[in-house]
Structure 1
Amino acid sequence: MRSCSRICLKISLSVFLRQLSLHSTKCSTRSLSMDKLKSALPVLDQLQRAGYEAYIVGGAVRNHLLELPISDVDITTSALPDEVEALFERTVPIGKEHGTVMVILNGTFEVTTFRIDGDYEDHRRPDSVIFVSDLKKDLLRRDFTVNAMALDHSMSVIDYTGGQNDLEQRLIRAVGDAERRFTEDALRMIRAARFQSVLDFTIESQTLEAMKTCAPLIEYVAVERIIVELQKLLNGLQPSRGMNTLTVSGIVNYLPYFRGWQEVLLLEAPMSLEVYIAFHIFKGLADMDGMRSLKLSNDSYRTIKQAVAILQQLEQQEEFTMERLVYHYPLATIEACQKLAGNQSDAKAYRQARRIHSRQDIAVNGHDVMTHLKREGGSWLKVMLAEMEDAIITGQLKNQPDAIMKWVDEHGEI
């Protein structure tokens, strides 16, 4: 009985400490988010003192209400771009034609004039923007209700679309007519799936139906914009939900490079786009050459190729596979591929146990080998050094000069 009580006490203490940690993290996030919002108040103050309206808008408001971290604080105002530039000492005209000026004051803030959008002829961006003096009109042009709220100087929420209620219901709902929103900018459909993944929300039924109707419009969107959203989706809380939405809506059939994939990997944990692509190449559902159409960075292409190689080696399950992987490839890529392959090996432990970190750590070099064998350099030396390196990293050869030279004598016919 006493033993049972002790166990229960340990469990209760463990639960309490975990809850305390979560509470502490949440409080810390709330504090940092409020600090981020407060850093924008001097900009609001200066605009308001000059007789203009000014509010915090967009993702900062959403994340503040959800008690999530805030990366950037955007401001909307009745002041025209030229008036904003005249009012602040340090500004950068990052998009004046669209009403946006970056203000540098206690941080950097994008300050955009109240506006409504003109016609969208290409389903990507408005042909023009029209500056207005009404905050409500500005908010009603936005994509989703959870992104269409504003905060005034006193941190009171201004909400014309039911965004607060949708946050409580954990819903992604288009502002107004969903088909119109997606016809204006087709990328919004992928953004809906991205927010579903990142926030672990559900897409409202009419919004989802509009995505099914408008799915073909994705072909109008630049691949670079699509890639940015997919990267964020795959790194969200529930990537499987977002990817499932792209599948059931039919959007995946219109994505460049991804078009025609008959299987969609439903991830249960966040994963990079590079490893996701590598998995499909590994499974024969995509090709290495075609990925160039995605216009990724050279680093991304390198990661994809590495991940394909890792997946192939994990499948073969040869002796010393992990020793070789942790020596040749980044740990994060290995661990991501292990999840896909169902491999339970402790890659961190293998990495910490590495005998050498690079070829420069080997106790002898190519010149030493040539001198010892009295041979001129050539292709044989490259092969021998590679085999020597592999023997050391797999533990079959000690990294000591005498042991290595004995091994060289035994393999001198390479």
Structure 2
Amino acid sequence: MRLAQLPQEFVGAQPILATLEAAGYEAYFVGGSVRDTILGKPIHDVDIATSAYPEEVKALFKRTVDTGIEHGTVMILDHGNGYETTTFRTESGYQDYRRPDKVTFVRHLEDDLKRRDFTINALALRQDGEVIDLFDGLSDLKAGVIRAVGDPEARFGEDALRMMRAVRFASQLNFNIEAKTLAAIHTHAHLLSQIAVERIHDEFVRMMLGTAAYRGLTVMIQTTLADYCPGLVGHTIDLSTIATVPELAPKNEVEVWAMVAFHLGLSYPDTVEFLQAWKTANHIIKSANQALHLAYAQQYHGVTKQLLFAMTPDTIAAGTNVARMSGYGPDDPNEWLTLYNALPIQDPHDLAVSGADLIKKMGLTPGPAVGETLQKVQNAVIDGKVNNDVDALLKYVQEKILTTDDASTKK
């Protein structure tokens, strides 16, 4: 197979391959960028594989960076772009089920490609557009199949994270996982416990953001991979419910975790603990909990102006999508955001009076009572009971709050 037209990302890197080939070495584009080009998808990183050893690569180019030279990777800097160029290699001795104990540089492309995870990722591309397919990856791309290169038992025994990559690709590409590969995932699922949570976290989120997340979740349940993820053991039914959501389409990581927490029925404190176990960033945890709060409110007692005031447009959008995916959202997807935008104030600092005003003009004694009064004033403004105007607010305090509060709040 020969591609008639290469993406501009490859065209810009062609001089790198040309330089390597002119020196007598082989050089190819490899990895996901080749796969995505064939599928007509946008590409991101351009990776190059070559028969030249790292020192030979460095001798050919003026500007290089040793980004992973122990594994044969050199970054070639060219016209403001960086191209990771890796020597053909074999790997052996995966004692931690993730990284090879030994890397050996080789001169033959086949030796390099046969160590890769899946046939659709074991394609190489010449600078003239010719695709090198040694493991029938093109057929698997056409059939929509994820198949391990060679023996799947060996591939997952080498690197257990490949199992999560398989379910992620199933989701992102809407592909099926080939039977032997699927069986090997089931056999080796327990090895996922050897992998750093941060790595599993990244693959899980990317899987949930795929176009067919239900595929990945279904495989995780069928193969028991889910049992080796933080906080998911014993939640097969809950995960199955997520997998059957008709329009499962979270838009970002916040929605991913709010959706999972919602269907697991987690409380807010439990959600924090759950997401911390997943090594989730603190700002994501905070936003996911707010989105969860909104989804729960819609499910049980309805969304109020006070609840929306405590949120941001982003968390409102996330909570709306989670609620709608789960069958509880408003008919109008913009309803809650419209209500939020119509609030008289959207931040406590927008309130026209301050604690100092209450002390100076209303005679309140400094202390907790000031904060309590400000909270009542803020709630009244949000609910539309009084305008956010200094005179109107001071009058409200005098007539609606101080007259009913304990006289001890005054001097």
Helix, strand or coil for the counterpart of 1:375? coil
- Report the equivalent of 1:298: 282
Tell me, in whole angstroms, the C-alpha distance in 2 between the residues paired with 1:237 and 1:141: 28
- Report the equivalent of 2:401: 411
- Report the equivalent of 2:37: 64
Match of 1:185 among 149, 154, 159: 159
Helix, strand or coil for the counterpart of 2:65? strand
TM-score (ref. length: structure 2): 0.87
The offset of 1:216, in angstroms, is: 1.1
- Report the equivalent of 2:257: 274
Tell me, in whole angstroms, the C-alpha distance in 2 between the residues paired with 1:91 and 1:322: 57
Does the 8 Å contact 2:291/2:322 carry over to 1?
yes
Residue 56 of structure 2 is aligned to residue 83 of structure 1: yes
The offset of 1:158, in angstroms, is: 0.6
Helix, strand or coil for the counterpart of 1:109? strand
Residue 180 of structure 2 is aligned to residue 206 of structure 1: yes
Tell me, in whole angstroms, the C-alpha distance in 2 between the residues paired with 1:237 and 1:323: 35
The residue type equivalent to 1:403 in the other structure is A
The offset of 1:99, in angstroms, is: 0.9
- Report the equivalent of 1:342: 328
The residue type equivalent to 1:193 in the other structure is V
Tell me, in whole angstroms, the C-alpha distance in 2 between the residues paired with 1:237 and 1:144: 20
The offset of 1:388, in angstroms, is: 2.0
Tell me, in whole angstroms, the C-alpha distance in 2 between the residues paired with 1:110 and 1:100: 6
Does the 8 Å contact 1:90/1:104 carry over to 2?
yes
The offset of 1:323, in angstroms, is: 5.9
RMSD: 2.2
Helix, strand or coil for the counterpart of 2:7? helix
Identity percentage over the alignment? 37
Tell me, in whole angstroms, the C-alpha distance in 2 between the residues paired with 1:290 and 1:331: 22
- Report the equivalent of 1:158: 132
Tell me, in whole angstroms, the C-alpha distance in 2 between the residues paired with 1:62 and 1:49: 26
The offset of 1:108, in angstroms, is: 1.6
Helix, strand or coil for the counterpart of 1:256? coil
The offset of 1:322, in angstroms, is: 5.2
Helix, strand or coil for the counterpart of 1:40? helix
The offset of 1:143, in angstroms, is: 0.4
Tell me, in whole angstroms, the C-alpha distance in 2 between the residues paired with 1:91 and 1:383: 62
Tell me, in whole angstroms, the C-alpha distance in 1 between the residues paired with 2:290 and 2:108: 52
* 341-350 or 367-376, larger mean C-alpha shift: 341-350
* 213-222 or 54-63, larger mean C-alpha shift: 213-222
- Report the equivalent of 1:324: 307
The offset of 1:276, in angstroms, is: 3.4
The residue type equivalent to 2:228 in the other structure is Y
Does the 8 Å contact 1:314/1:341 carry over to 2?
no
Does the 8 Å contact 1:323/1:350 carry over to 2?
no
* 383-392 or 192-201, larger mean C-alpha shift: 383-392
- Report the equivalent of 2:359: 370
Residue 109 of structure 2 is aligned to residue 135 of structure 1: yes
Cα pair distance change 1:113/1:56, threshold 3 Å: same
- Report the equivalent of 2:291: 307
Cα pair distance change 1:347/1:92, threshold 3 Å: farther
* 192-201 or 292-301, larger mean C-alpha shift: 292-301
Q: Which runs of 5+ in 1 are unaligned?
A: 1-29
Deviations 1:46-99, CA, capped at 9 Å, x for gaps: 222222211100100010001111111111011111222232222221111111
Match of 1:244 among 209, 218, 231: 218
Does the 8 Å contact 2:165/2:203 carry over to 1?
yes
- Report the equivalent of 1:10: none
Helix, strand or coil for the counterpart of 2:48? strand
The residue type equivalent to 1:196 in the other structure is A
- Report the equivalent of 1:40: 13
Tell me, in whole angstroms, the C-alpha distance in 2 between the residues paired with 1:219 and 1:379: 50
The offset of 1:364, in angstroms, is: 2.0
